Structure 1
């Protein structure tokens, strides 16, 4: 008789950034991908919440206006960035608290959001990447780029882009 191998659930990466769009995408993912009524015999999904902290700006000892940047200022900016990441992740984890049948992992990584998300998907061999959309128009996307557009073209998994309904 063959041994029964417990199958692993899906690995779902959700991009979180503290904005309303990513919060809506996380809630949508929980409602549509993770059933709160799953049985204990069904495989347990893993939800990986990913926040990409931007790299700190690089300042020379004196900027172009003649302002001198001290180590205290740059340390303060870095602390703010870490505190913001902690706050965003705490809020995201609270949204997930009612879903006991899903394992929630948190990954805070420093870097460009496009590369962090695609890299995480590839590294953990995620089944799907779920992310919100800011709904930028053509010109704004062309000027600043679109994280969701980049990920839809480059992620090594399926990508679900969740648009928040207009209010």
Structure 2
């Protein structure tokens, strides 16, 4: 590891060493729902994974776009997350609200976009009690 001199400017950990890599960037998908785990995954992606030139696709699956209340809530969530992504990581965001089963929608988006990474938060289908019980059991 090379020491840094006082008069030298340090590069941000988000900046790539190669100019070509900074210009091109990567495509990253973050799967979002209205739960706390997906918000944690989104925050983690912004703080630990995304770089300056990356494009962040925020994918949200809804059961039906015909339900105006659900669709409006989804649009509000996407707008809020897009602003947050730009403020924190200065990445370009592309919000996508897609109708269908969440698992199938995410797989379809991954096949279509061919991203560098798919980031998502999950409870693995467990209830709050089951997650707490597993935490207590495995921490003993």
User: TM-score, with normalisation over the residues of structure 2?
Assistant: 0.67
Q: Aligned ranges for residues 39-58 of structure 1 at < 5 Å? A: 44-55=53-64
Normalized per residue, the structure richer in helix is 2
**Displacement after TM superposition at 1:86 (Å):** 0.9
Match of 1:12 among 28, 48, 57: 28
Pair 18,95 (structure 1): closer, same or farther in 2 beyond 3 Å: farther
Match of 1:117 among 106, 119, 139: 106
Contact 2:55–2:91, Cα closer than 8 Å, also in 1: yes
Q: RMSD of the alignment, in Å? A: 2.4
Secondary structure of the residue aligned to 2:59 is strand
Q: How many residues align?
A: 108
**Displacement after TM superposition at 1:91 (Å):** 2.5
Q: Which has the higher contact order (CA 8 A, sep 6+)?
A: 1
Secondary structure of the residue aligned to 1:91 is helix
Which structure 2 residue ranges, 5 or more long, are not aligned?
1-18, 128-140
**Displacement after TM superposition at 1:90 (Å):** 2.1
**Displacement after TM superposition at 1:137 (Å):** 3.6
Q: Aligned ranges for residues 25-64 of structure 1 at < 5 Å? A: 25-35=41-51, 38=52, 44-55=53-64
Moved over 4 A (4+): 4-7
Which structure 1 residue ranges, 5 or more long, are not aligned?
39-43, 57-74, 139-167
Q: Aligned ranges for residues 88-127 of structure 1 at < 5 Å? A: 88-99=77-88, 101-127=90-116
The residue number in structure 2 matching 1:79 is 68
Partner Cα separation in structure 2 for residue 33 and residue 133 of structure 1:
18
**Displacement after TM superposition at 1:94 (Å):** 3.0
